[in-house]
Chain A
């Protein structure tokens, strides 16, 4: 059962045919690699696992795509039982019929071993497709997948589709949603954020993982990709500027505890972008619309509310496995 998640790492299994872009996704999302540099990545021949700790301890396991078809054996049974989500990458610029057959076989097996598994499909490399063609491809893939699964008697399986590309923010968005499904405390988090939004003139807020720029949670209003992009870029700006002038603090940091990063920026149309560092390498980024009140009093209220929000976070995650000390060390 998947409920063991709370004491085992949540694992994402990244699969797909060869040259589909699995390693590129890993490098771009979790290692901040420039998308163009991934053109020169070598082919992955062994299963590789990488660990990331954000709000939850996350492991991303990448299986090489060379195997012609997925062959069930003993090892894979154990593997699939321990996995929280299966992410299958389909290259949208290539002939994808093979990939779909391969995918159906994997799903059949995975579903039998572990019915709680989240199945996610990334229709990848859509940056080269025109807007019309994107929709066309997605519809086509969804339909064919449905047919394949129906044939195998698995029409009840929930499969989610995402259009992604490493050259824009879509891959981060997709991963955000995938990771969110693995966080057991998510409904609670959303509730807390909703409360925060209601009481402090916030239009939209995200809880970001600073390193990977995926968001682990947001309030329940719909996500506008533009807002997400702006917020993610604001994290970049803040971190870059912060790093530029922290050189002097190296000697101080031994004696003085690291202060939390906090920044805000007012735009000419009245919107304020606000960032506060939270626990475990997370940051809260919010778009605030002060309307008729002045910016300062608005920010004071937000500050106060965010303080409470942060205390809430600390309390919820106080009893989980990673000790707070460790989390700080990994930052």
Chain B
């Protein structure tokens, strides 16, 4: 099972749908502006990313021009579609040829069924920022029901989809769910986190991967608190911005303490924790000491 720590992710979609932009923002610290500079991807661009130390993500960013696409489904099909853990298919919401987009999606599905039938499928409706706010939900529903139908026909009944945009935090939500589906020892993290929560008397604790700031897991607060449902993605976005700005001082940040209630600190070499306390009266040293002690359990 040594190969289990190497995950193959296919990033597919037609030309111009924003695949490489996503990859650059999430994994290479690009800002949304910087992605304009990216040129078209030629054939397949591989990137090997270490995630949480022991996991390697092999991201196959497949160029989306028709010439390459044809190739993937004919000559290279066994090479491309073998041992795939995850297919991330990106749709451009502004696309003129929706029928053709879906056709390519079905082609990919049929290959996957043949070569790696237990792959997980995610679809991203990308560039949502170009659609009017009030129409986004409706458009997403229509598209998803259509795609659900197609993917069920090919034997992938549970399709998960996200509306995304590089200009807001929706991108982080999508990717953190995708990556989380690959983490094997999630249950351990979860139970450790809940213990930590009770010890610290916290309102909420969230675990982030350090380099990408994707949410790994959170102590689920089902107490009916009125918290912003989008807070995870927003924190990812805010913290990543802060990370970038601390780079200007030629450093990276270690801890952040806000109002004595919010503590952001590194847990291990590849994890950050975000702790929100119930009361702000506890001495800061005690809390930081607690965080230090807990590090052992998240290595």
Asked if B259 contacts A262 (CB within 8 A), the reply is yes
Name the one of A259, A265, A268 contacting B256, with C-beta atoms under 8 angstroms.
A265
**Chain A residues bordering chain B, tally (CB within 8 A):** 30
Asked if B231 contacts A244 (CB within 8 A), the reply is yes
Given that A244-B235, A296-B285 are contacting pairs, would A265 and B245 also be in contact in the complex, using a CB cutoff of 8 Å? no
Complex contacts, A247 vs chain B, CB 8 Å? 225-228
Q: For residue A143, give the distance in angstroms from its CB to the closest CB of chain B.
A: 34
A267 and B280 alpha carbons, distance in the complex (Å): 23
A259 and B258 alpha carbons, distance in the complex (Å): 12
Asked if A265 contacts B255 (CB within 8 A), the reply is yes
Asked if B242 contacts A233 (CB within 8 A), the reply is yes
A56 and B249 alpha carbons, distance in the complex (Å): 31
Q: Residue A305 at the B interface, CB < 8 A?
A: no
Binds B, one of A146-154, A235-243, A310-318: A235-243
Given that A229-B248, A244-B235, A247-B228 are contacting pairs, would A266 and B253 also be in contact in the complex, using a CB cutoff of 8 Å? yes
Q: List A223-267 residues whose CB lies under 8 Å from chain B.
A: 226-227, 229-230, 233-234, 236-238, 240-242, 244-245, 247-248, 259, 261-267
Q: Residue B191 at the A interface, CB < 8 A?
A: no
Q: For residue A235, give the distance in angstroms from its CB to the closest CB of chain B.
A: 11
Asked if B254 contacts A266 (CB within 8 A), the reply is yes
Name the one of A242, A244, A262, A273 contacting B234, with C-beta atoms under 8 angstroms.
A244
A268 and B234 alpha carbons, distance in the complex (Å): 24
Q: Residue A105 at the B interface, CB < 8 A?
A: no
Asked if B245 contacts A267 (CB within 8 A), the reply is no
Contact with B along A43-83 (1 / 0, CB 8 A): 00000000000000000000000000000000000000000
Complex contacts, B276 vs chain A, CB 8 Å? 245
Asked if B248 contacts A240 (CB within 8 A), the reply is no
Asked if A236 contacts B241 (CB within 8 A), the reply is yes
Given that A263-B256, A263-B258 are contacting pairs, would A234 and B251 also be in contact in the complex, using a CB cutoff of 8 Å? no
Complex contacts, B248 vs chain A, CB 8 Å? 226, 229-230
Q: For residue A242, give the distance in angstroms from its CB to the closest CB of chain B.
A: 6
Q: Residue B36 at the A interface, CB < 8 A?
A: no
Complex contacts, B249 vs chain A, CB 8 Å? 226-227, 230, 267, 269, 271, 287
Complex contacts, B241 vs chain A, CB 8 Å? 233, 236-237
- Majority SS at the chain B contact face: mixed
Q: Residue B261 at the A interface, CB < 8 A?
A: yes
A154 and B261 alpha carbons, distance in the complex (Å): 58
Name the one of A237, A245, A261, A267 contacting B251, with C-beta atoms under 8 angstroms.
A267
Complex contacts, B186 vs chain A, CB 8 Å? none
Asked if A269 contacts B250 (CB within 8 A), the reply is yes
Q: Which residue of A lies closest to B242 (CB)?
A: A237
Given that A230-B249, A237-B241, A241-B262 are contacting pairs, would A248 and B254 also be in contact in the complex, using a CB cutoff of 8 Å? no
**Chain B residues bordering chain A, tally (CB within 8 A):** 33
Q: Which residue of B lies closest to A250 (CB)?
A: B226
Question: Could you count the A-B residue pairs with CB atoms below 8 Å apart for me: how many are there?
Answer: 92
A262 and B256 alpha carbons, distance in the complex (Å): 11
Name the residue in B226, B231, B248 with the highest tally of chain A Cβ atoms < 10 Å from its Cβ.
Answer: B248
Q: For residue A274, give the distance in angstroms from its CB to the closest CB of chain B.
A: 10
A248 and B228 alpha carbons, distance in the complex (Å): 11
Complex contacts, B239 vs chain A, CB 8 Å? 237
Contact with B along A275-299 (1 / 0, CB 8 A): 0000000000001000000001000
A262 and B225 alpha carbons, distance in the complex (Å): 24
Asked if B227 contacts A267 (CB within 8 A), the reply is no
Complex contacts, B252 vs chain A, CB 8 Å? 267-268
Q: Residue B5 at the A interface, CB < 8 A?
A: no
Contact with B along A299-327 (1 / 0, CB 8 A): 00000000000000000000000000000
Given that A229-B245, A237-B238, A247-B227 are contacting pairs, would A268 and B261 also be in contact in the complex, using a CB cutoff of 8 Å? no
Given that A240-B238, A296-B285 are contacting pairs, would A266 and B255 also be in contact in the complex, using a CB cutoff of 8 Å? yes
Asked if A268 contacts B259 (CB within 8 A), the reply is no
Complex contacts, A273 vs chain B, CB 8 Å? 246
Given that A248-B226, A269-B250 are contacting pairs, would A234 and B259 also be in contact in the complex, using a CB cutoff of 8 Å? no
Complex contacts, A296 vs chain B, CB 8 Å? 284-285
Q: For residue A168, give the distance in angstroms from its CB to the closest CB of chain B.
A: 11
Q: Which residue of A lies closest to B266 (CB)?
A: A268
Asked if A248 contacts B225 (CB within 8 A), the reply is yes
Q: Which residue of A lies closest to B250 (CB)?
A: A269
Complex contacts, B131 vs chain A, CB 8 Å? none
Name the residue in B227, B246, B255 with the highest tally of chain A Cβ atoms < 10 Å from its Cβ.
Answer: B246
Complex contacts, B260 vs chain A, CB 8 Å? 262
A269 and B253 alpha carbons, distance in the complex (Å): 8
A287 and B285 alpha carbons, distance in the complex (Å): 21
Q: List B215-271 residues whose CB lies under 8 Å from chain A.
A: 225-228, 231, 234-235, 238-239, 241-242, 245-246, 248-262
Asked if B257 contacts A230 (CB within 8 A), the reply is no
Q: For residue B284, give the distance in angstroms from its CB to the closest CB of chain A.
A: 8
A261 and B255 alpha carbons, distance in the complex (Å): 17
Given that A234-B242, A234-B245, A241-B238 are contacting pairs, would A268 and B226 also be in contact in the complex, using a CB cutoff of 8 Å? no
Instruction: Give 8 new A-B contacts, CB below 8 A, not counting A244-B228, A245-B227.
Output: A234-B242, A237-B242, A241-B258, A245-B261, A247-B226, A248-B225, A263-B257, A263-B259
Instruction: Give 28 A-B contacts (CB < 8 Å), ordered by A residue.
Output: A226-B248, A229-B245, A233-B245, A237-B242, A237-B245, A240-B238, A241-B235, A241-B238, A242-B259, A245-B227, A245-B231, A245-B276, A248-B225, A248-B226, A248-B227, A261-B259, A263-B256, A263-B259, A264-B256, A265-B242, A265-B257, A267-B246, A267-B253, A267-B254, A268-B252, A269-B249, A271-B251, A296-B284
Which residues of A does B touch, CB under 8 Å?
226-227, 229-230, 233-234, 236-238, 240-242, 244-245, 247-248, 259, 261-269, 271, 273, 287, 296
The 3 closest A-B pairs by CB, nearest first: A269-B251, A233-B245, A265-B256
